[in-house]
Amino acid sequence: MTKLIAVLPGDGIGQEIVAEAVKVLEVLKSDFGLDIEMENGLVGGTAYDATGTPLPDETMELCKRSDSILLGAVGGYKWESLDIAVRPEKGLLGLRAGLDLFANLRPAILYPQLASASTLNAEVVSGLDLMIVRELTGGIYFGQPRGVRTLENGEREGYNTLVYKESEVSRIAKVAFDIAMKRDKRVCSVDKANVLECTEMWREVMIEEAKGHPEIELSHMYVDNAAMQLVRAPKQFDVMVTTNMFGDILSDCAAMLTGSIGMLPSASLDANGKGMYEPIHGSAPDIAGQNIANPLATILSVSMMLRYSLDQSEMADKIDAAVNTVLDDGKRTADIYTDGDIKVSTSEMGDAVVAALKA
Ligand code: NAD
């Protein structure tokens, strides 16, 4: 059955990088029989300019009836002084909440060709391929009560609540186990069970849920140790699953292991595997409109979409292989360029991936 992909380029370089990812999808459709249709929608500052809101009803309606969503990025200087309720970022948060995208997948992959881009020793990170699964709609970022109150002595006290229901933990566990089944079948659950009762329960639910996945090797790690291990020996991990806040911090740390923000895709999934796919970087207003942004994170987001939402692993493998070929050929956008490489523009990089796909 034909799958519908909502294409939301958004703002800044979002327009340029999504155009390259769409080229890749078009080739998979025309040359390899991928059965998809694409429909464009507005989000972010571009949507605000056209309609007065960063998330128009038509965009939400399009995303709800789509099988998958490809997003560029939102935000930019132009909209920074707007009221917070209509800032571009609200469009993104509205999509995540409105579509109940509770599972955030953040791979950290370091292509051996780019090992020198990392701040870590090449042999520690070369060939790194790890997936962080972060719970995205619960935990301390959403828990009630929250706020700042004034005590009787006049001193202010700030407070937030870390709260997870068993069902929230088991559904993120299932996502992590399912992903691990498509990888090396190892899941490390990261918690702080020695101090926080909530994550003690998190660990119990993980163990319970693992009983339904006997092929998976489940381990547990306290978050402080996990942070240390990520920079000491990151290749020991296959899939890490963790809470919203721990995942927020660890996934940025893991991203930086690779040294190149323009290379990393991400996915946010709902309970049925429908997902929104986007690069981890923002709209880069400092380089927007110059045809120099790296489109590979967005192209690799398409690969994740094919693998995790559209059940087209072979097509995803084709994209991954094409990206590898282009890097092997020494083609680099400015952000990953070093002396001796072939410098290419955004559109030339997209063309090179398309050519590698067709070869
Ligand atoms: P950013 O990720 O946009 O840019 C950080 C730096 O990385 C910049 O120097 C930029 O030029 C560079 N960079 C980013 N992507 C690149 C690419 N593909 N190729 C080459 N270089 C790249 O982060 P920022 O500057 O903090 O934020 C800019 C805007 O993006 C803000 O409005 C912010 O709110 C928004 N933002 C949006 C998202 C999103 O849409 N998911 C995420 C983060 C930031």
Nearest CA to ligand 1 atom 8: 284
Is residue 15 scored above 80 in pLDDT?
yes
What is the number of residues in the chain?
Answer: 359
Among 35, 224, 286, 317, the active-site one is 224
Closest Cα partner for 283 from 262, 312, 255?
Answer: 262
* CATH class of segment(s) 1-107+261-359: alpha beta
State the average pLDDT over residues 30-45. 98
Is 64 a known active-site residue? no
Distance CA 23, CA 33 (A): 14
pLDDT reported for residue 222 = 98
Topology, domain 129-257: Isopropylmalate Dehydrogenase (3.40.718)
pLDDT tens string 66-102:
999 999 999 999 999 999 889 999 999 899 889 999 9
Residue located nearest, by CA, to atom 1 of ligand 1? 282
Nearest residue (by CA) to ligand 1, atom 26, is: 282
Residue 87 CA, ligand 1 centroid: distance in Å: 16
Whether the link from the prior residue into 145 is cis, omega within 30° of 0, is yes
Residue 182 banded pLDDT, cuts 50, 70, 90: confident
Provide CATH 3.40.718.10 ranges for the chain: 1-107+261-359, 129-257
Residues with CB under 6 A from ligand 1: 13, 17, 73-76, 89, 92, 261-262, 278, 281-287, 293-294, 297, 335
Model confidence pTM above 0.95: no
Torsion of CA 72, 74, 78, 80, to 10 degrees: -160
